[in-house]
Structure 1
Amino acid sequence: MQHSTMQHRTTRRTTAALAALATAVVALALTGCSTGSSAGTTSSEGSAISAERCKENKDAGTITYLSGYQYQSSASILEYIAADELGYFKDLCLDVTLKPGSGDTAQNTKLLASGQATVSAVAEQDLIQARANGIDITGISSYSNAGLDVLMTNEDITELPQLDGQVVGHKGYVPASVRAMMEKAGVEWDSLTLVKEGYDPSVLPRKQNGLEALTGFVSNEPNLLKAAGDDVTVWQPVDYDIPSSIGAMAVNPAFAKAHPTAVEDVLRAALHAYDFCSASEAKTKQCVGYAAKLSGATYDTAQNTKIWTTETKVIADNPTPDQPLGGIDPENVTKLVDMLHQFDIVKRSVTADDAKSWFTNEYIDAITKDGETVWPAP
C-alpha cells in the first residue's frame, strides 16, 4: 500500500481484485466512467424550485460529485446515484456529473481542493488531516458520529484484553478509532503482533497464521462472513464513545462561496434520495439497481444491499446529537482532534477551534426545518 502524509482510509473493498482495479479507475475518474444528471428519468427541469433559484443553480455550471469508493451502495454514495437517477438534481436545476472514486481518501481531498471535483465523500477525521496538511476543503455534512471501522474477533474472544499478546490483522494500518477503542478497553497495545492481511476476511475464522482479530468495515466483512456461515464478534468503537463519522461530505470552498444555493441543493437532493432509498425494501432494491447499472455485470447486488441497510441502521441507531440528518456535531470534531493528537496523526499545533472552523452547518441549516429536509426548494 502506498502511504501518504494523511493516514487515509481505503474504503470498504470487498476483494483484492477490486482494490487493484481501483488504481486503474482513478486515472479515468475525472475524464470518463461518469454519468450526468437525471439519466433515465422523465423529471421536469426546475419542477421543485423557484425560477430565481433555478437560474442561480444553472449559473453554477457542472458540479462534479466524486464518490468514496466506486459506485458501492454506501451512505454518501447510493443517495447521490439515486438523486441523479430519480431526477432530483434536475428538479433543482443542477447539472451534476457522478465520478467513481478509487477508495483513496487522500487523493479525493486533493482533487477536491484543486477543483477537479466539486463535492466528495470525506470522513471528518480525514478532512481534519487534509486541512492540517494544507489541503483546502470544507466539511458540509455528516450522518452520524459513529463510524464504519470495526474490529472482528472469533467468538471465543469475549473481552478485548484477551487479545493481549495476540496477532491482529489489518488492511495497511489499524484505524485510529479501532486502536482508541482497544486501548480504552484495556488492551496492551505494544503486546500485539500487527499483520497486514489481504481482503479475504475468511482468514479470521480460519485463524490463519494465528490470527485472533481483524479490522474491517461494519457493512462489509461481517456481512461477507455471515453469508459464508462464519460467526464473528463485531466490536464497534461507537460503543466505547470513540469519535468517527459516516457519510460525511466536503466541498471545494471557492465553489461553495460562489454558489451557496447549489451546495445547499446538492445536499437537499441527496437527503431527499436518502429518505427514498431507506423507505422500504423495494425502494432500497430500486436504488441499488441504479448503482448496479452504473457498475456493470460483476456488481454484487445482494452484498451491496446489505451494505446500505447496515450503514443506514448504524446511522439510525446513532443519530448526531442535537442535529438533523446531515448536521455536523462540533463536539465530535473536538474529540476527533484529541484522538488524532493521541496517536500523533496531526500536530499538536492543530487546535479543536481550528478544526471546527473547517466545518460548517450553514448549508444543512438552510435546507432543514423542524428537523426535516425541506422539499421542494424555495
Structure 2
Amino acid sequence: MSAHDRRRSRLLGPAAALAATALLATACGGGDDDARDVAVIIDQERCDTNREAGPITFVTGYHYQASVTQLEVVAAEAMGLFDSLCLDVTIQPGNGDLMGNAQLVSAGTAHFTAMSNEAEVLQADARDHRIVGLATYGHVPIATLLTGTDVKDLTDLEGGTLGHQSLLPAPLEAMLVAADVDLDSIEQVEAGYDPGVLPRGQVQALTGFRSNEPHRLDAMGEEYTQWLPEDFGVVGSFGVMVASPEWTEEHPTATEDFLRAVGRAFDHCSEEAEECVGYAADLDLAGYDTEHNLQVWDTERDLVASSTPEGEPRGFVDLELTEREGETLLDNGELDEIPDPGPLFDTRYLEAVHDGGDPIWPDEG
C-alpha cells in the first residue's frame, strides 16, 4: 500500500462523515485497475462529465501555508471530497511567484491557482495572462503596516526607513497617501522575511500580512502598532481563486464541483482547524510550523467571515470594489489604465453551488 493510500485510508472516516449518506459507493470511472472505491454523491451522468475533464492541477500560492484558498484545497483532497465529486485533482506547491502561477494557468499547464488579491488579476491581464477570477474570499486588504509603539501618527515615519519584501503594497501606499505622509521623505529598503528588523530598530516601519508578521512578533514577545488600510478608507481583497477561462467554459460542472468541494472543506476546517493544518503538514517535506499556520488560518478565516455580507455566498465578487482597488494601482503607476473588470471575473460557477449564502452539498438536498 502506498503512502498516499495509507493516508487515504486514515482519512476515510472524516470524508464519509462529511459526505453523510452516499448515493453511490463505487468509483465513477468504473473498470480502471487503479480506481479507488469512493463515496460518490453525484449522479452517474455528472460523474462521467467530470471525469472527462481529466486531471486537474491546482498550484498553491506559497508552498503549503495554511492560507485561505490553499488550505481548503489541501483539505478537500485529503478528505476525499474531490473524489466524491469525480474530480482528479493534483496539488502542486508554488514558490510565491503568483504571476508565474497565472502564466501556468494561462498556458493550460495548470487549471486553478490562488492570487493574493483582485488587483493581481488586473495586473495579470495587463501582462496578457488569460485567467478569470472565480471567487474572492476576503474583502479587506490583507497587507498591514507595522511600526513601533512610539509612532502615534503615520507622519511620524517621515525621515525614517520603511522595510518591505520586494515593494510597497498598493493598499499600504494608498493608506500612507491618505494619511498625508510625504513618501519621498521615507527611505524604502528590502528587509527580507525576518520581522525582528522592526524591534531591533533597523527599520521604523515594516510591511507584512496581518495573518503572518504580527503573529511572529507576538511569539517574540515584542510590542508594536498595526496600521490597517481600511481604517483610512482604502479598499482591498485577498484569497482570489482563478482559473483558465477556456477550461472553465469547456468544463463547467467540474469547475462548479471544484468550488463546491473547496467550500465544503472551508466549513469543515472552520470547525476542525488542527485537523486541516495537519493535512498541509503531511505534504510539507521541509518542516512545518503547525502552531504558526494555525494562526494564519484562523486569522484569514475570521477576516473572510467578517467581510462577507449576510446573504452573499462566501467568495462573492463586488466589481465596484474591484475597480476601486484597481485605482490604487493606477495611482502608483503599476497600471497605465484600469481594464473593465467584468470580463475578468465570472461568478456563475460559484453561484451555481450556493443557495443564497449557503453552499449546497448534493446529498443534503
TM-score normalised to structure 1 length:
0.85
Distance 1:297 1:104 in 2: 19
1:359 aligns with 2:336: no
Name whichever of 269-278 and 48-57 sits farther off.
48-57
Query: 1:66·1:117 contact (CA, 8 Å) conserved in 2?
Result: yes
Secondary structure of 1:292's aligned partner: helix
Distance 2:136 2:300 in 1: 13
Choose which of 265, 269, 274 in structure 2 pairs with 1:273. 265
User: Residues 93-108 of structure 1: matches in 2 within 5 Å?
Assistant: 93-108=86-101
Distance 2:327 2:311 in 1: 21
Choose which of 109, 112, 135 in structure 2 pairs with 1:116. 109
Query: 1:320·1:327 contact (CA, 8 Å) conserved in 2?
Result: no
Name whichever of 365-374 and 239-248 sits farther off.
239-248
Amino acid at match of 1:363: Y
Is the alpha carbon distance of 1:241 and 1:321 closer, same or farther for their aligned partners in structure 2, counting shifts above 3 Å? farther
Distance 1:273 1:256 in 2: 21
CA RMSD of aligned residues (A): 1.8
Question: Aligned residue for 2:306?
Answer: 317
Percent of matched pairs sharing the same residue: 39
Is the alpha carbon distance of 1:297 and 1:170 closer, same or farther for their aligned partners in structure 2, counting shifts above 3 Å? closer
Is the alpha carbon distance of 1:240 and 1:82 closer, same or farther for their aligned partners in structure 2, counting shifts above 3 Å? same
1:48 aligns with 2:41: yes
User: Residues 168-207 of structure 1: matches in 2 within 5 Å?
Assistant: 168-207=162-201
Distance 2:247 2:8 in 1: 24
Question: Aligned residue for 2:67?
Answer: 74
Distance 2:154 2:96 in 1: 29
Question: Aligned residue for 2:330?
Answer: 341
Shift of 1:82: 0.4
Secondary structure of 2:299's aligned partner: helix
Query: 2:131·2:244 contact (CA, 8 Å) conserved in 1?
Result: yes
Question: Aligned residue for 2:295?
Answer: 306
Question: Aligned residue for 1:145?
Answer: 139
Shift of 1:239: 2.5
Shift of 1:288: 0.5
Name whichever of 138-147 and 321-330 sits farther off.
321-330
Distance 1:164 1:343 in 2: 19
1:226 aligns with 2:218: yes
Choose which of 205, 208, 211 in structure 2 pairs with 1:213. 205
Secondary structure of 2:159's aligned partner: coil
Query: 1:337·1:355 contact (CA, 8 Å) conserved in 2?
Result: no
Secondary structure of 1:194's aligned partner: strand
Choose which of 70, 84, 87 in structure 1 pairs with 2:77. 84
Question: Aligned residue for 1:369?
Answer: 355
Name whichever of 64-73 and 244-253 sits farther off.
244-253
Query: 1:67·1:100 contact (CA, 8 Å) conserved in 2?
Result: yes
Amino acid at match of 1:103: G
Shift of 1:80: 0.4
Unaligned runs of 5+ in 2: 16-24, 26-37
Shift of 1:321: 7.9
Distance 1:46 1:254 in 2: 30
Amino acid at match of 1:366: A
Secondary structure of 2:313's aligned partner: coil
TM-score normalised to structure 2 length:
0.88
Question: Aligned residue for 1:290?
Answer: 279
Over alpha carbons, which structure has the higher Rg?
2
Is the alpha carbon distance of 1:321 and 1:358 closer, same or farther for their aligned partners in structure 2, counting shifts above 3 Å? farther
Aligned length: 335
Distance 2:293 2:251 in 1: 33
Query: 1:39·1:84 contact (CA, 8 Å) conserved in 2?
Result: no
Secondary structure of 2:274's aligned partner: helix
Query: 1:323·1:329 contact (CA, 8 Å) conserved in 2?
Result: no
Query: 1:120·1:251 contact (CA, 8 Å) conserved in 2?
Result: yes
Choose which of 195, 217, 234 in structure 2 pairs with 1:242. 234
Shift of 1:205: 0.8
Secondary structure of 1:120's aligned partner: strand
Amino acid at match of 1:274: F
Distance 1:328 1:321 in 2: 14
Question: Aligned residue for 2:246?
Answer: 254
Unaligned runs of 5+ in 1: 1-34
Question: Aligned residue for 2:56?
Answer: 63
Secondary structure of 2:341's aligned partner: helix
Shift of 1:46: 5.5
Shift of 1:240: 2.4
Secondary structure of 1:169's aligned partner: strand
Shift of 1:195: 1.2
1:329 aligns with 2:318: yes
Shift of 1:49: 1.3
Query: 2:311·2:357 contact (CA, 8 Å) conserved in 1?
Result: no
Query: 1:82·1:287 contact (CA, 8 Å) conserved in 2?
Result: yes
Shift of 1:297: 5.9
Shift of 1:72: 0.6
1:238-296: CA deviation from partner (whole Å, max 9, x where unpaired): 222322222111001111011011111111100110010012xxx10000000000003
Query: 2:114·2:241 contact (CA, 8 Å) conserved in 1?
Result: yes
